[in-house]
Amino acid sequence: MDKFLITARCTFGLEGILKKEIMRLGYEIAKSAEGFVSIYGDMNDVYNLNLNLRTATRVLIELSEFEARSFDELFDNVAEIRFKDFLPKDARFDVEKISSVKSELFSKSDCQRIIKKAAVESMKRDHKISRLTESGANYPIYAYIKNDTAKICLNTSGDSLHRRGYRLEQGKAPLKEDLAAGLVLLSGYYGREVLADIMCGSGTILIEGAMIAANIPAGINRNFGFEKWKTFDKDQYSLVREESISRIRPVENPILGSDIDGNVLKKARENAKRAGVGDMVHFQKMDMREFRSKKKGGIIITNPPYAERIGERKITEKLYKDLRPVFEALDGWRMYVLSGNEDFTRLYGKKPDKNRKLFNGNMMSYVYMYGLGNNKK
Ligand SMILES: C[S@@+](CC[C@H](N)C(=O)[O-])C[C@H]1O[C@@H](n2cnc3c(N)ncnc32)[C@H](O)[C@@H]1O
């Protein structure tokens, strides 16, 4: 089969980083939009992207994109798709995900029903059968409608890719793995300097950092939806895995995690071990105010607590204030702080060199960047 459109989905704000990741894997970007980055490729590339991308949440096969303002238009365009190119006769194909934003077709349940009906028609026509059993593997259909344009896709990943498989233990407000990796990649860290998270919680930023430094494929510890497909080429996937694993390299510089809560550090250690980076990350119980380093140059990436209850506000405000002298005592370091607190820079006491909007779950947050002049690359 010719190459087809493969679209990686990401959290709002991570598109630029995802693009860079895809280009580092050797691909040319075909198109991108809010939350989506696409390339042309084949099933090998589907395997490769699923296994290696750190900031994507899903890898989709994009079957069609078209304008649709009425149910008839939606039906006709979906019925035109050649599902048979990817789905065997006995495939199950539920419309598992549907979103509609700023569009005339706003009833998700109606759109879901119509897409399914049209897909059934296409499958019967192209497989030349009058009855579908849907008794085989699942090929989940994902549909995104925005500004009256519909994108119809197949989800190749299964569960969201942020579920790497290593995090069974979590702290109070853990960062999602894709976002943690996004922060690390945003900082330009690839293992060449010291990396520290001085409020590390369950350790997500550092575990992702260690995997980046060591070039460990993001999805090495998990399975993917495509592995159940009839068309799955196990040998080909093994080759892709072996090739990715062959690029794993030793980590030379320290990766340091500390937190004031000893219990959460136990979880962090367990997670790191499961991710295969237990011996690369050093965790220590410590108040962030005590963090010192004689090393010249290094990176702090951290996500301080966010005061949800009124009683906690004073404590977190003091924490933001006390962060500045800790950072300023370091020589030639950069710092990236992810915070949902709008007052962060005022409390910290200094404007960042740069900031960037990101969504942390549903919470609009910013990454505040300090010491960017220290980045000599
Ligand atoms: C939002 S959580 C970090 C979550 C983390 N990124 C993760 O993925 O699990 C903030 C962490 O800051 C820690 N913390 C609060 N005050 C601290 C202090 N003074 N020094 C060090 N850590 C502190 C908390 O124990 C908590 O684990």
Distance in angstroms (rounded) separating the CA atoms of residues 214 and 273: 14
Q: Taking 60 as the threshold, does the pLDDT of residue 17 lie above it?
A: yes
199-242 residue pLDDT tens: 999 999 999 999 999 999 999 999 999 999 999 999 999 999 99
Length of the chain: 377
Domain span holding position 54 = 4-155
Instruction: Clarify whether residues 108 and 200 are in a common domain.
Output: no
DSSP letter assigned to residue 27: P
What is the rounded average pLDDT of the residues 62-86?
98
Q: Please say whether the beta carbons of 90 and 229 come within 8 A.
A: no
Domain of 239, CATH number, reads 3.40.50.150
Q: Which of 259, 265, 271 to mutate to test the pocket of ligand 1 (most atoms within 8 A of CB)?
A: 259
Instruction: Clarify whether residues 199 and 313 are in a common domain.
Output: yes
Instruction: Clarify whether residues 70 and 131 are in a common domain.
Output: yes
Q: How confident is the model at residue 101 (pLDDT cuts 50, 70, 90)?
A: very high
Q: How confident is the model at residue 376 (pLDDT cuts 50, 70, 90)?
A: low
243-294 residue pLDDT tens: 999 999 999 999 999 999 999 999 999 999 999 999 999 999 999 999 999 9
Q: Taking 80 as the threshold, does the pLDDT of residue 309 lie above it?
A: no
Q: Which of 260, 269, 270, 309 to mutate to test the pocket of ligand 1 (most atoms within 8 A of CB)?
A: 260
Distance in angstroms (rounded) separating the CA atoms of residues 5 and 30: 8
**Within a domain: residue 161?**
no
What amino acid is encoded at 372 in this protein? L
- pLDDT at residue 117 in the model: 98
Strand order through the sheet with 56-67:
31-33, 36-41, 4-10, 56-67, 149-155, 141-146, 95-101
Q: Nearest C-alpha to atom 17 of ligand 1 is from which residue?
A: 260
Residue 158's Cα: distance from chain center in Å? 14
Beta bridge partners of 320: none
Tokens of 94: 């539920």
**Within a domain: residue 287?**
yes
Using a pLDDT cut of 90, give the percent of the chain over it: 91
Q: Residues near ligand 1 with C-beta < 6 Å?
A: 171, 173-175, 199-202, 204-205, 259-261, 264, 287-288, 303-305, 319
Distance in angstroms (rounded) separating the CA atoms of residues 13 and 182: 9
User: Model-level pTM?
Assistant: 0.95
Question: How high does pLDDT run on average in the chain?
Answer: 95
**Within a domain: residue 162?**
no
**Within a domain: residue 80?**
yes
